[in-house]
Chains A and B, each alone.
Chain A
């Protein structure tokens, strides 16, 4: 009996010791990992948010993070990937379209250095891309409109199918509006975005307002991103039709859109991406990959949030 207890005690001690050893080894492995974050877009507000959140999480994990900004130069992203591969970093995080930096991804793959994307796009050579779900964002705003107008009336859509991340938003809105037999899509407009998208959207919306002069003939404007929504808002206000109850929604919740939503006018809703969440999740994802986990899904979505006058400020 005593013997057996001792044995069990010994066994437990051994297990504990092994556990500590494993923990120690794990900590040694995790601490001091060198991670390079390479981006051409650090000066853009969204990028800054997720790079900062990534760094904060990486600090908790004990990583050494090197943030490299190539200031818009995509070829330099390839060069810097090659450099950090030569340096022998443990992991690389990018936020640029993978199809443009294939040579760099090849170099990382040849050296078995994992690459994680932050809002980058999917690619076989990227372990996982952490981003927002465009389908979900479009569902939020299109359903918001359908509910606000009681599932009936004319809706104007602003889409941009040439740009894949925006194209998926339009697909969902199409499906939602189609599911309401009394909602009629008056027009599906692709604005000219070379001037930023607001001015041309405004012009297109002014033409539509002129073509539909009856109050109530246009119930809502669904825009696949904020700029056309802002343009439509300007057109509606310029035409003096802001009191007809036309509901406008955008996506991205940029500062200008938030201001417009907070003002309580026709622009009622947009969707905010959780940039900080994307950064932190990218770090967690890298930690999983470094821990040897094989990720099943190579796209990881971070939840987004509907922004209305309640939470716009």
Chain B
């Protein structure tokens, strides 16, 4: 029973949440359109959480993803204002993300600073850089090319439901593609298995010939690029760039990965589990908004659910340990 709860408690909880919303919102919650909305709403968080999973597999984490997301949006927007073509500006923002991630990697892996300290420092640095580049202003309106803003508003036509067309949003597709790519990297490649080996026991991995320093460093590269992609998605969705707009992503991404860890065997971070965690957060936001629950109460509830899930998982592990 305890084992069962430990493995499936969170999953049962998630199913219960969905069922409750379905029962309370019979007409509007369990609809294709609403679920497409949810996938689009959580697309940015998905990308950050999936990228965050890579460093968490190694046993590290990255606090700078939120400010990197802001910075990448600002970099692209500032380049737009200078007349750079969209693909080039977007590419430049991704390069900034990769560079920022690798800086984190060097600080943590090569120099040996604790991830909390190193990425806390780069969090403020990247945020400061975003403020410097933008002059503290929101870049919006005609400065943002239409094609860039349209990306987040359109998608792949799926046909029509009733009289309205149904589209699979590009943001959702992009999040799916990135999830797939990271899944391949972590679950199906030697590289991924080595990362898990480092996360399990770095010293043992090193003795087994795994290049721990180098691999930890590269893991941060994924997180940096992921954060940059999410920042660009955000900028496209709001057709503007603001030096603080990625801030909310970091804590939610970590929360999603932790939520996901409660359903995996051995409590390891896993890509698909992280996506499940993201979906829980997204479904809570969507359902509670539709139920007109006060937005502050909503935050308390989301925190409680995370605690509940992790507690069940922890108690389950303790009980198993006792046997």
Given the complex, which residues of B lie within 8 Å of A84, measured CB to CB? 289-290
Smallest beta-carbon distance A75→chain B, Å: 5
Total number of B residues with any Cβ neighbor in A under 8 Å: 40
Residue in A83, A103, A194 whose CB lies within 8 Å of B286 = A83
B31 A86 Cβ-Cβ under 8 A: yes
A213–B49 CA distance with the chains assembled, in angstroms: 60
The listed residue with most B CB atoms (<10 A of its CB), out of A34, A87, A106, is A87
Given the complex, which residues of A lie within 8 Å of B41, measured CB to CB? 78-79, 82
B237 A75 Cβ-Cβ under 8 A: yes
Q: Which of B87-95, B130-138, B271-279 contacts A (4 or more CB under 8 A)?
A: B130-138
B244 at interface, CB cutoff 8 A: yes
B245 A74 Cβ-Cβ under 8 A: yes
A208–B247 CA distance with the chains assembled, in angstroms: 40
A86 B290 Cβ-Cβ under 8 A: yes
A212 at interface, CB cutoff 8 A: no
Given the complex, which residues of B lie within 8 Å of A100, measured CB to CB? 138, 140, 238-240
A67–B293 CA distance with the chains assembled, in angstroms: 9
B37 A99 Cβ-Cβ under 8 A: no
A311 at interface, CB cutoff 8 A: no
B149 A102 Cβ-Cβ under 8 A: yes
B296 at interface, CB cutoff 8 A: yes
A76 at interface, CB cutoff 8 A: yes
Residue in B28, B238, B248 whose CB lies within 8 Å of A87 = B28
B33 A86 Cβ-Cβ under 8 A: yes
B164 A110 Cβ-Cβ under 8 A: yes
A237 at interface, CB cutoff 8 A: no
Smallest beta-carbon distance A160→chain B, Å: 10
Contact flags B281-319 to A (C-beta < 8 A → 1, else 0)? 000011001101011100000000000000000000000
Smallest beta-carbon distance B260→chain A, Å: 21
A68–B294 CA distance with the chains assembled, in angstroms: 7
Contact flags A105-125 to B (C-beta < 8 A → 1, else 0)? 010001000000000000000
B196 at interface, CB cutoff 8 A: no
Given the complex, which residues of A lie within 8 Å of B31, measured CB to CB? 86
> Closest residue to A70 on the B side, CB-wise?
B295
Given the complex, which residues of B lie within 8 Å of A284, measured CB to CB? none
B189 at interface, CB cutoff 8 A: no
Question: A41-82: which have CB < 8 Å to B?
Answer: 64, 66-76, 78-80, 82
Given the complex, which residues of B lie within 8 Å of A80, measured CB to CB? 285, 289
B238 A83 Cβ-Cβ under 8 A: no
Given the complex, which residues of B lie within 8 Å of A193, measured CB to CB? 136
A194 B136 Cβ-Cβ under 8 A: yes
B137 A82 Cβ-Cβ under 8 A: no
Residue in A68, A71, A162 whose CB lies within 8 Å of B137 = A162
B152 at interface, CB cutoff 8 A: yes
A82–B28 CA distance with the chains assembled, in angstroms: 11
Given the complex, which residues of B lie within 8 Å of A102, measured CB to CB? 149, 153, 239
A66 B153 Cβ-Cβ under 8 A: no
Question: B233-270: which have CB < 8 Å to A?
Answer: 234, 237-240, 242, 244-245, 247-248
Contact flags A175-195 to B (C-beta < 8 A → 1, else 0)? 000000000000000000110
Question: B8-64: which have CB < 8 Å to A?
Answer: 25, 27-29, 31, 33-34, 37, 40-41, 44
Smallest beta-carbon distance B214→chain A, Å: 36
A289 at interface, CB cutoff 8 A: no
A194 B245 Cβ-Cβ under 8 A: no
B141 at interface, CB cutoff 8 A: yes
A102–B237 CA distance with the chains assembled, in angstroms: 8
A100–B292 CA distance with the chains assembled, in angstroms: 24
B25 A87 Cβ-Cβ under 8 A: yes
Given A76-B248, A103-B237, A68–B290 Cβ distance below 8 Å? no
Given A71-B248, A73-B245, A97-B140, A83–B295 Cβ distance below 8 Å? no
Given A74-B245, A75-B234, A86-B37, A99–B290 Cβ distance below 8 Å? no
Name 17 A/B residue pairs within 8 A (Cβ), A-sorted: A64-B292, A69-B295, A72-B244, A74-B240, A79-B37, A83-B37, A86-B286, A99-B141, A99-B239, A100-B238, A100-B240, A102-B149, A102-B153, A103-B152, A106-B153, A194-B131, A194-B136
Listed from nearest, the 7 A-B pairs whose CB atoms lie closest are A79-B41, A83-B289, A87-B290, A66-B292, A194-B136, A100-B238, A82-B37
Given contacts A34-B292, A75-B237, A84-B289, 17 further A-B contacts (CB under 8 A): A66-B292, A72-B247, A73-B247, A74-B238, A74-B242, A75-B44, A75-B245, A76-B285, A82-B37, A86-B28, A86-B33, A87-B25, A99-B240, A100-B140, A100-B238, A100-B240, A162-B137
Give residues in B with beta carbon < 8 Å to A: 25, 27-29, 31, 33-34, 37, 40-41, 44, 131, 135-138, 140-141, 149, 152-153, 164, 234, 237-240, 242, 244-245, 247-248, 285-286, 289-290, 292, 294-296
